[in-house]
Amino acid sequence: MNLFRLFGDLSHLASIIILLQKIRSTRSCRGISFKTQALYATVFITRYLDLFYDWVSLYNFTMKVFFIASSCYILYLMRYKYRPTHDPSIDTFRVEYLLGPSAVLALLFHYRFTVPEVFWSFSIFLEAVAILPQLFMLQRTGEAETITTHYLAALGAYRALYIPNWIYRYFTEDMVDPIAVTAGIVQTALYLDFFYVYFTKVLQGQKFELPA
């Protein structure tokens, strides 16, 4: 464990708490893509299949349980408790375009050809693009509540911090995970546009609005 990864994970944790706070405080899941949240639940469930037979550490175990539980809880909130506040007509990204290629890539690139390992690869590729329905929705509506942008910024920071973590591990442990690194770089790149608007507008006290 190094500080980049620790702060990355804490940023991931913070993003989920911010999202729950957004839903609770506005009593609404307006502006949040159900599709992206469903993809994250899929990512965590398919990645953490090793939860019950591969012990890494208490930290690792606790985080995995938290990510699975919180992603399922968010789906419950969106699907049942705050269902009327979700507008499916603006959440229209075709998730087949993400699920299909991720499955193909997982069949081509994996560390061992076993069910959990192929699912693990699938989850890595899917996580890289799971934010796209959310960013697509943002692009469509052209604006976002400030708290929603904080959620996205914390999620993007988590991904960005994993990059120095990998560089650090390369020098200290002489180790590179090519699947995680490639997918991670793609995933971080997807946030660049968002970060630009976040830094130039939201952090200057303005509303998140995209140029028409």
Partner 1 sequence: SLFAPAKDEL
| Contact between residue 32 and residue 148 where contact means Cβ atoms under 8 Å apart | yes
**Between 66 and 73, CB nearer to partner 1:** 66
Nearest Cα to 26, choosing from 79, 86, 80, 88? Answer: 86
| Minimum distance from residue 8 beta carbon to partner 1 (Å) | 9
Name the amino acid, one letter, at 115. Answer: V
| Minimum distance from residue 95 beta carbon to partner 1 (Å) | 23
**Between 169 and 201, CB nearer to partner 1:** 169
Q: Identify any residues that bridge with 208 across adjacent strands, giving them in sequence order.
A: 144
What is the SS3 string spanning 3-70? HHHHHHHHHHHHHHHHHHHHHHHHCCCCCCCHHHHHHHHHHHHHHHHHHHCCCCCHHHHHHHHHHHHH
Alpha-carbon distance 190 to 192, whole Å? 6
The binding site for partner 1 (CB under 8 A) comprises: 1, 5, 9, 12, 50, 54, 56-57, 60, 63-64, 67, 111, 120, 162, 165-166, 169, 174-180
**Between 186 and 203, CB nearer to partner 1:** 186
**Between 50 and 145, CB nearer to partner 1:** 50
| Minimum distance from residue 176 beta carbon to partner 1 (Å) | 6
**Between 49 and 210, CB nearer to partner 1:** 49
Write the DSSP symbol of residue 209. E
- Distance between start and end Cα atoms, the chain: 44
Nearest Cα to 120, choosing from 189, 45, 36, 58? Answer: 45
| Minimum distance from residue 65 beta carbon to partner 1 (Å) | 11
